[in-house]
Amino acid sequence: MEQLSLARQIDIVFKQLREELAQLKSGIVYVQIRNNVIGKFGVRHDPIESKDGKVSRVGAGLSEAQQISLRNMAIESLCLKKNWTHGEIQFEFALKNNQLVTSVQFESNYNIPHNINSFWSIFSDLPTNCPRGLAKIKRLLAAQLPYVAC
């Protein structure tokens, strides 16, 4: 099966969340991405609010038109995602004076084991069984890594 584009996956996420978004005035839709595939997604929100010391349910949330606007913003924001395949995107939304206000936050994640091999490859041609080889490794490490005093 061919992989769906990230934009199409975002569209599917918002269709899945339609009923929940219809009950929320604010929150954060989040998607967790691994290898450009959405795994976990959902909404972070406060289900109740307090006004003048009285706690009540939030009530009506995003209209269908507001949900479409939020989904379109989410899909358009993918143009700003550059050069990473693992991470999380958060689409924050709120109704203020019945107007939809949105923002987006990207979080990219990297795994050191994948990157560390290229770092250690600079030492592959050095002899490690002689003092000159060890001295050269120490010089290269000193040049590559910041010194941290403990």
The residue type found at 14 is F
**Torsion over CA: 43, 47, 53, 56 (sign):** positive
Average pLDDT, the chain: 83
β-pairing verdict for 48-51 and 54-57: antiparallel
Q: 24-38, 62-76, 121-135 — which is least confidently predicted?
A: 121-135
Cα separation, 34 vs 87, in Å, equals: 7
Question: What pLDDT does 53 receive?
Answer: 79
- Contact by Cβ (8 Å): 14, 30: no
Cα separation, 5 vs 11, in Å, equals: 10
- Look at residue 59 and tell me whether its pLDDT is greater than 80: no
pLDDT, greater one: 74 or 122: 74
* pTM of the entire predicted model: 0.70
